[in-house]
Every structure is written in structure tokens, then in C-alpha cells.
Amino acid sequence: MTAGEAPYSVSEKTLSDLAQKPSTLAASTLHMANVLQSSLELPKLMEMFEREVKQVVPHDGMEYANAEERTQITFGHEARHSCSYDLVVMDKWLGQITFRREQRFSKNETDELEALICALVYPLRNALLYKRALETALKDPVTGINNRAALNATIDREVNLAHRHGNALSVIMLDIDHFKRINDSYGHLAGDVVLCALAKRVMERTRGSDMVFRYGGEEFTVVLSNTDVAGATLLANRIRKSVERLEIVHEDMEIQITVSLGVATLEHGDSATTLLNRADEALYEAKTTGRNRVVTHSTGDAAA
């Protein structure tokens, strides 16, 4: 089918039709099913699927898209003709797969694609469930942003990449000033409202490539790839001033907050632990020397 036509729908119901397929196609489908059982990682699953399909039905490109999961995985390139399939299991839509190539797909080839896709639907469902479980485990339940477990998983990778490629890497730690007073004066529900408002404001002031985490309690961490100490300090001050102007209303009560921030940049010999420790030391200095300010911790030995 060509681009623009409505996609076919492939569901578990179609699996019962496989017995009617030619023996060679049934064997290919069985082989596909066995291959796809080896991974729960969605990108790896789709990579294996695309590779196996190409051996049966040659194509120039394949795309898996699922807007609900904010996921799009693409192989190959655009082409003149395409055929698309909606994937459904137990009335649950799992996304859409599109195959593309310059030559129109024949009826026999679309039948083959449909049969092969039948082997994908259950592994795909399991991979999506696994993906959601991982994302839930790495999200803070109050603010919805990444949690400390996500930071621990991220910071080692970012430090290793920065050292390997000689890129700048900075960290901002920020803490709500006098947060205990907010909980005591307005209640813990108001405290949660404040945390959510702050998380949203920080996300609004950072780039798409920046990573924001709730480190614990009222403390947040921002990891800034390809950002030197000057850029990180500039951003920290922008966040501080923006939070100072933040209007938070809870049950007709207006709550004003400020934050203290500590900045550190990756230096020669730094590990994830030493980088975070220096940012934490800078934050502590900001808290103990007046609050609502930015302190930068740097030895002047930036990683190159």
C-alpha cells in the first residue's frame, strides 16, 4: 500500500491464521518468534525484528511509532511506497509499523509481512510493559521528574562520555530555602505543591538536552552536558531569579520561595561521586552564607 492509505490492523486474532500459511513462511514466523524472545529492550527488539524481516521481504526502511509511549524507532530511509500496520493485542494498541521501499509491495509480500508481524505483537507488548516499569522505577512520584536512582544511572555514563570525548560537563544542585517552614506553616500537601511548581520551573528554564532530577527531599540536581562552568553558573542564576518570581498558590494562599544553588564542573580525575560532592559542597556554602544565591566550586582544573 502507498503512503497516506489507512494502515492494516494486525492483532493476536491473526495468529490463528498462520496454520494456513505456506510451510516456509510458517517456519520463518516460528524462527522470528524464537529470536524475539531474547530481549525486552524495545530498541533491540525492533532492531532484531527489522533484520529478520529484511531476509524475507527486502525493504529500504522501517519505522515503529507509538505516540502514547513517546517512542519512534527508525531504520533505513524514506522511499516512494509504504505499507503500515497497527499492532493490537487484547484490544490494546501497541503502535504502528511502517515498511518503505522504492518498489511497490506485492500482495504476496504484504501477506508475508503480516504473518511476520504476528510474531512481534506479544514480545512487543512485553517490551512496552518492561519499558513502563523501568520508567516508573526512575520517576519521582511527587513531581514526575527523574529520581535519584535515575541520576545514579545517568551521572556515571555522562562522566565517562565527557572524559572520553573531552567535552565539558557541569552539575547544578539546588535546594529550597527554609522548606521546613513551608511544611510547618502550610502543611505537607502545600509542600508537595511547591515541589511540583519548582520542578516545572526548572524544567522550563533548562534545555531539552539537560537532565533534571529530584535528588531527595527538597533538593534537585541538573546535569548539563557540553556546558562549562560559565554556562552552568549563568543558568543557575537564571533559575534562581526565575524561582524568586515564581507565584505559587495553594488553597488561596500565596507561597513565596527562594532556592540556593551549587555549581561544579567536571575536572581532571573526577568521578561521578567527586563531581556531585563538589556541587553539594557549593550548595552547602550557598545555604550557610545567606541563601538565595549561587556558589560555584571550581579548582580551575577543568577536564579537557
Q: Which residues contact 272 (CB under 8 A, 6 or more apart)?
A: 155, 156, 158, 159
Q: How far is CA 94 from CA 12, 67, 69, 98, 100, in A?
A: 12, 10, 9, 13, 20
Q: How far is CA 87 from CA 45, 52, 74, 124, 209, in A?
A: 15, 18, 17, 9, 31
Nearest to 111 by CA among 191, 171, 57, 47: 57
Residues involved in catalysis:
218
- How far apart are the C-alpha atoms of 4 and 92, rounded to whole Å? 23
Q: For residue 91, count CB atoms less than 10 angstroms from its CB and return exposed for 0-12, middle for 13-18, buried for 19 or more.
A: exposed
**Cβ density class 225-254: b for 16+ within 10 Å, e for less:** eebbbeebbebbeebbeebeebebebeeee
| Contact criterion met (CB below 8 Å) for 172 and 210 | no
For residue 154 the three cell numbers come to 545517568
- How far apart are the C-alpha atoms of 82 and 191, rounded to whole Å? 52
Helical segments of the chain, H only = 23-36, 42-56, 107-118, 121-137, 148-165, 179-186, 188-205, 229-244, 272-288
